[in-house]
Structure 1
Amino acid sequence: MKMLRWAVGVTRLDKVRNEHIRGSYKVAPIADKVKESRMRWYGHVMRRSDDHVVKKALALPDNNRGRGRPLATWWSTISRDLKQAQLNEETTQDRPTWRMRTRRADPK
């Protein structure tokens, strides 16, 4: 956001909302772009062969955690993203469909 504000020539003292700046430059929210990147990486990993190191690491068992709220892991975040997008693991094998369903372009 700081870079966009600098490009527009607006400071925080001008009290212009981030949504207005993002809308004027037609830039998607950073959370959507991070989610898109995470899903792209997940699809890349799942298309790998089963004997690849990264795929083996994903199959490792989880450790038992202590008391309290469980920490957010990459795997739990991916599961939530897949559920929101109504996708499953088999969809990753069909690359054109996967790209079409996970890609979030900047608003125009």
Structure 2
Amino acid sequence: MSMGGKQEAKNTWWWNDEVQRAIKEKECFNRLHLDKSAANIEGYKIAKRAAKRAVSVAKGQTYDNLYQRLGTKEGEKDIYWMARIREWKTRDINQIKYIKDGVDRLLVRDEEIKDRWREYFDKLFNGEEEGPILELDDSFDDNNRCFVRRIQEAEIEEALRG
């Protein structure tokens, strides 16, 4: 059974061959589940440390190169590119830019889109055609209504004791 929602993709743009090799070596120790000997456990720990170290070194080198490149004239373009990507990632995916009207004509202006949604929900909630308005039955008897007073805390305590 699957639990949870969609898993976010890992950000691995900085991976190089050394990191890839270290991760593969660490994954080779999946046999640890079959044989939990001391040698397998120690080998897994060593591979895990090596993979972490390789990831840390690769990230550090990549970010250093990125910061040096951003300091140059060509890096200015990269700054705008990174800002654009960040904006795309934070953009609301539920934002609708265009819809079709009743006759399959594409609507792109905000006013037209709002009017189309208003028309859609009007038809949805009020029905396609205007029918007769039903009068509510007003035949209940007012004499059968009575008011009940609130129960006091002292009454509850007395009922619980007795």
Query: What TM-score range do you get, normalising by the shorter chain?
Result: 0.3 to 0.5
Q: TM-score scaled by structure 1? A: 0.35
Q: Greater Rg, structure 1 or structure 2?
A: 2
Q: TM-score scaled by structure 2? A: 0.26
